[in-house]
Chain A
Amino acid sequence: RALLARPAGALRALRALAAGPEMHFGFQTVTEEERREKIYQVFESVAKKYDVMNDSMTLGIHRVWKDILVHKMNPSPGTLLLDVAGGTGDIAFRFINYVRSIRERQLQRKLKHHQNLSWQEIFESYQKDKFNSLGDSQVVVCDINREMLKVGKQKAQHLGYTEGLSWVLGNAEELPFDDDMFDVYTIAFGIRNVTRIDLALQEAYRVLKPGGRFLCLEFSHVSNPLLSRLYDLYSFQVIPVLGEVIAGDWKSYQYLVESIRRFPPQEELKAMIEDAGFFKVDYENLNFGIVAIHSGFKL
């Protein structure tokens, strides 16, 4: 699939020498700096309609994908999660719900064991645990885009998520965190937009504790030929139209669809994750490869 066979004129070559390596922005060829800026602008512009668009484009299925990711993670209370490119908080909220429900079950089991105690003692033990409904679990949502974080914070307030949640402005290629800090690192539908994926993977490795887990949820490649054609048709014909009609923004959604095509397929991404130092790297296809979850461990 040799795309971008663009004849490089002398002017273009000179420009490239001056401005750094050429990269892709969807199907266009741009410099590294231009790509970062363009992507920032895309998300700045789509932030407010991000969730609506996700529901329209995937007919709500993205919610199932994200549920599967958190179930695969199977976090226990006390887990410290870093959700990178977590923008509007979808993974963070699911993590909190999951941990809360596990915690509730823990508490219920504890109560059952306390059936010989007096009411006073039961009440006291319940009070002690009540203030710990998350069991010390925490999620840090990190995103490079201010607008997305803003939308995420508003959503959190609106939905009532107050504890165990922090919002940090940061770049996946250069995370503002110390080494060996987190139990789990997730990046859902974000790594595709990172300009230097290798750096992001290295950073992921760095900030994870030994024994920590890397999880990546991302659009991937459909190998089934018939399905692939239908998927292409839908992607290129319908999605930009949805973008124009719902968000008044054709170009951002054209970029979205093109960036999915440009992203490395399952095996290639697996190799890149292994290169960053992760072990037991594996992937699971969802919906025939439309989406894939990659997983790896820092040992």
Chain B
Amino acid sequence: EEEEEEEEEGWHQLYPGHIPTSLLQKALLAAGSAVMALCDPYRHDMVAVLGETTGCLALPNLRDKMKNHPEGYRILQERPRIRLSTLDMARLQGLPDGSLGREYIRFLEDNKVSPDTRMPPKFVDDEELAYVIQRYREVHDLMHTLLGMPTNMLGEVVVKWFEAVQTGLPMCVLGAAFGPVRLSTRKLQVLATELVPWAIRSGLNASCVLNVYYEQRWEQPVESLREELGIFPPP
């Protein structure tokens, strides 16, 4: 009986905020969120939902990459979270220019963003995968820092291309493909000729960005981290 199923599903909450969903519901959510995200670009929650409902192949893949890497494995064990409450802002601001910590803070200030605005996952039906997607979201700002891209439409699209190649998440692929729709021709040209090829090359060349324990590398210079990962210098 449908009702009893519903009742049981309520008891299968795997993590706070988890909403168990049937396959049909996930399909409807994926379709609905994709349309809504295109219609109303301010609906960041729809992008998040799209990522969760379509990530069933990419997320386990990412999790396995993390498991098989020493640093990634530690991240999965320790489950660090990047939040204003956990970051020591004063210390990071005091770090030398060019260091990851200093440049990350600079990025947050310049673009007036905060790591606390990331949506917690709702529709991922595995507790560990829910963490993986949460980690991906929280590391997104660090991607901006590493790639040197601002949070305007152009910068976001470039980061999406990089993330699409790196993670294989369908949401990134869709975002990378449809994001440019709202850009001017001049920007599209720059995007197509310089930025996207660079993002793709870097994405392919670099090792998995989720395997980096960023919280333990605040002092490391951004340049050195780029080299270590295999991200080519931005154009």
User: Which A residues fall within an 8 A CB radius of B?
Assistant: 1, 3-4, 27-28, 229, 232-233, 236-238, 240-242, 244-246, 248, 250-251, 258, 261
Which one, A229, A244, A246, contacts B49 given CB within 8 A? A244
B22: interface (CB < 8 Å)? yes
Q: How far is the CA of A241 from the CA of B21 in the complex (A)?
A: 10
The one of B4, B25, B36, B43 that contacts A240, using a Cβ cutoff of 8 Å:
B25
Provided the pairs A237-B22, A237-B24, A250-B122 are in contact, do residues A245 and B3 lie with their beta carbons within 8 angstroms? no
Residue in B2, B4, B35, B43 whose beta carbon sits within 8 Å of that of A248 in the complex: B43
Inter-chain CA distance A246–B29, complex, in Å, is 11
What is the predominant secondary structure among interface residues of chain A facing chain B?
Answer: helix
For residue A238, which residue of chain B has the nearest CB? B28
- Residues of chain B having any CB pair with chain A under 8 Å: 2-4, 6-7, 10, 19, 22, 24-25, 28-29, 32-33, 35-36, 43, 45-46, 49, 122
Q: Is the interface of B mostly helix, strand, loop or mixed?
A: helix
Q: Which residue of B lies closest to A258 (CB)?
A: B6
Contact of A241 among B2, B28, B45, B122 (CB under 8 A): B28
- List, in ascending order, chain B residues with CB within 8 A of A27's CB: 3, 6-7, 10
Q: B22 touching A3 by the CB < 8 A rule?
A: no
Contacting residues, chain A, for B35 (C-beta < 8 A) = 245
Closest to B32 in A: A245
**Are B2 and A236 in contact, with the CB atoms below 8 A?**
yes
By the criterion CB–CB under 8 Å, are B10 and A248 in contact? no
Contact A236 B6, CB 8 Å, known A248-B45, A250-B19: yes
Could you tell me if A241 and B32 are in contact, using CB atoms closer than 8 angstroms? yes
Q: Which of B2, B7, B24, B46 contacts A245 (CB 8 A)?
A: B46
Report chain B residues within 8 Å CB of A248: 43, 45-46
